[in-house]
Amino acid sequence: MNKSLPSEPIEPDDPERRQFLEKTVSIVLGGAMVSVPVGAGIATLLAPLSSDKGGSLKIRLASIEDLPSDGTPKLYQIVAEKKDAWTKYPNKPIGSVFLRRIGESKVVAFSSSCPHAGCSVDIDSDGSAFFCPCHASSFDFDGITQGKSVSPRGLDALEVDPDLLVKGEVWVTFVKFKAGVADKVEV
């Protein structure tokens, strides 16, 4: 606010310089103020990246006598306590596992999730192999890919606790693996 008023309309000292300043300030402030809500939003959007992995879960599924002695695989549901965002489910089905008895005392466990794209693997119609209906991958009962399977690896074997197995109890460590890659990578 000038003290002595010139009789002419006020000319800015240097309009270009003033405008440059105005433009710079506008752009800087504009960027800053958009980045606050966007930043807070992106942070919440990306929050899952820093959350815990699924982790593993050791669970008792059966007694060894429950499994067919001829080596036919049997599907078991995994039911566990599960936290989904805010909800804590006391008993929630989280997946399923094939158990197969070999001989008297050996048991193998396979995740029923297809290593190709995560579809649910089943036993084929004539009961001779594992078969994934989504993209027609086929696995023998040892979990190895067979025929024209598109799956990059065989079925994922899960750890069966050997000490408890001696006592006739089948305890399996349930883990999830990344689909679509040749190596078995935990997720």
Q: How near is the Cβ of 187 to another protein at its closest, in Å?
A: 21
The residue type found at 72 is T
Cα–Cα dist 109/95, whole Å? 13
CB of 159 to another protein, least distance (A): 27
Instruction: Tell me the C-alpha distance between 69 and 74, whole Å.
Output: 11
Shortest CA distance to 152 belongs to which of 120, 113, 111, 114?
114
Residue pair 112/93 in contact by the 8 Å Cβ criterion: no
Stretch that binds another protein, among 63-71, 84-92, 107-115, 168-176 (CB under 8 A): 84-92
What are the backbone angles phi and psi of residue 26, rounded to the nearest 5°? -60, -45
Instruction: Please choose, out of 63-71, 80-88, 94-102, 155-163, the segment that lies near another protein by the rule CB under 8 A.
Output: 80-88
* E strand intervals along 56-134: 57-63, 74-84, 87-102, 106-111, 122-123, 130-132
Nearer to another protein, 42 or 187 (CB): 42
Rule CB under 8 A: is residue 30 a binding residue for another protein? yes
13 binds another protein (CB under 8 A): no
Does 134 bind another protein (CB under 8 A)? Our answer is: no
* Interface with another protein: number of residues (CB under 8 A): 33
* 38 contacts another protein (rule: CB under 8 A): yes
Q: Is 55 in the site for another protein (CB under 8 A)?
A: no
What is the Cβ-side half-sphere exposure of residue 46, based on CA atoms within 13 angstroms? 6
Among 14, 32, 56, 136, binds another protein (CB under 8 A): 32
Contact set with another protein (CB under 8 A): 1, 5, 9-10, 19, 22-23, 25-26, 29-30, 32-34, 36-38, 40-47, 50, 83, 85-90
